[in-house]
Structure 1
């Protein structure tokens, strides 16, 4: 399906994925040129020099339907209807429970028809994934949009250790079904380390795994056989991913947080990144 929108040189496509009745695209502004005073011009110049780019996602529907994170819409064009039905008392209860459990918004409006949906611009980072009758579990705030054939709900941790000591909470966000999903990432996708496990084990010192497939179990375990040994190693407890599937790690997120709060001195001498120490 072709669109009638013409994009100028300042906006370039950085990702796209085509489904049966929709096209997901992510665009990036090469430069923001709207500064009309010295202060804003300096900020815009700093953003350009630091390679910080404004991005925006667009979804083109051809008699299709998608669900968006509440508040994600910027504008739309065409014959598109917005449905925010809650499914009665039972449906409302399920949505409120899922929202409270996962930290996601309770209502994810459904947009259906033919036309174009443009989402809010952001300095954040995005990734497009396509599910084929499968389930992924993601951190709070990672879901942004998906085809209507994809369901978004709550995933309960399978054991107490992962809920209490893994810094992930008792519930995470479950995304399942078949279709395209747009995720909002804390770092650029080319800084995401994607491990594919085959009856294997991945141990992580910290809570920087943002996505795993449902075939991978998550637990929290001592880094050594005893508490004394764990304390002596300086690692304490580790987040452990075991099974067959995929795990996404974002280790550079820790560095960005430290740069923001402590500057270069803390990054040069990090002293460990674990959030699961004894």
Structure 2
């Protein structure tokens, strides 16, 4: 594989593997500048902050992945790209998905055997694997996945949750079996994973970035009645009920990603 031949250039910092694909987060070992004037400055301060230039590397073994549009850096091997629109109905569906989830409507698929490298980025990445399950993530977090995972839309159950929960009417839903890669506002080590077993979690602010499919989401007052909520100083809380996991970020929102 290409990654193994370039260990002096970058290192593998995380890896997940299935029968048909190996997903790796690789980080460049050293950055010595660029011909673009602003890039060396960005690299200098990124290094001072402990940020590394990373990219997703995927080894396909007669497998297939789905990515965000424009994510490809380069690929090698017997790999074909499929970005078919699926006719007029498919175009409208993809356009609607793009508007509602802050992600590209047309998501290319790469199928075959070989190596794929996605665009280098200073972003943080989260990798996870689901099995006959689903997860709901913040808009704009999806980066790539095995094509055995379907990328769809999850709508809020009511307007109140959408208006007061800080998430909007729609989020990204990923369903099926396979590996998923997400762009994260924080490193993986900073994400708090809360396990719920027929339990309730209440969060002040939009710290939650992911929940599994068995978790129900609503927005509720922190205390009964308007006066109780006012005196508590908390107002409305994001409320998660059920059995599964909720992932929390220590930051309140996803700011601009450094890519």
The TM-score normalised by the length of structure 2 is 0.92
- Offset of residue 36 of structure 1: 6.9
Q: How far apart in 2 are the matches of 1:97 and 1:125? A: 27
Q: How does 1:1-278 map to 2 (within 5 A)?
A: 2-3=1-2, 5-34=4-33, 43-251=42-250, 253-254=251-252
Over residues 187-226 of structure 1, what are the superposed CA-to-partner deviations in whole Å (9 max), with x where a residue is unaligned? Answer: 0010000001001111101011010011111101011101
**Bigger mean CA deviation after superposition, 27-36 or 57-66:** 27-36
Q: How far apart in 1 are the matches of 2:27 and 2:180? A: 19
Over residues 131-183 of structure 1, what are the superposed CA-to-partner deviations in whole Å (9 max), with x where a residue is unaligned? Answer: 10001000011110011111001111112221111011111100000011111
| Contact 2:64 2:110 (C-alpha < 8 Å) held by counterparts | yes
Q: How far apart in 1 are the matches of 2:204 and 2:38? A: 41
Would the alpha carbon gap of residues 128 and 255 (structure 1) be closer, same or farther in structure 2, given more than 3 Å must change? Answer: closer
Q: How far apart in 2 are the matches of 1:154 and 1:256? A: 19
Give the SS at the match of 1:26. strand
| Contact 2:65 2:111 (C-alpha < 8 Å) held by counterparts | yes
| Contact 2:206 2:253 (C-alpha < 8 Å) held by counterparts | no
- Offset of residue 256 of structure 1: 9.4
Give the SS at the match of 1:168. coil
**Long gaps (5+) in structure 1:** 258-278
| Contact 1:62 1:114 (C-alpha < 8 Å) held by counterparts | yes
- Offset of residue 105 of structure 1: 1.1
Would the alpha carbon gap of residues 106 and 35 (structure 1) be closer, same or farther in structure 2, given more than 3 Å must change? Answer: closer
Total equivalences in the alignment? 255
The TM-score normalised by the length of structure 1 is 0.86
| Contact 1:35 1:44 (C-alpha < 8 Å) held by counterparts | no
- Offset of residue 42 of structure 1: 5.6
Give the SS at the match of 2:166. coil
- Offset of residue 100 of structure 1: 1.9
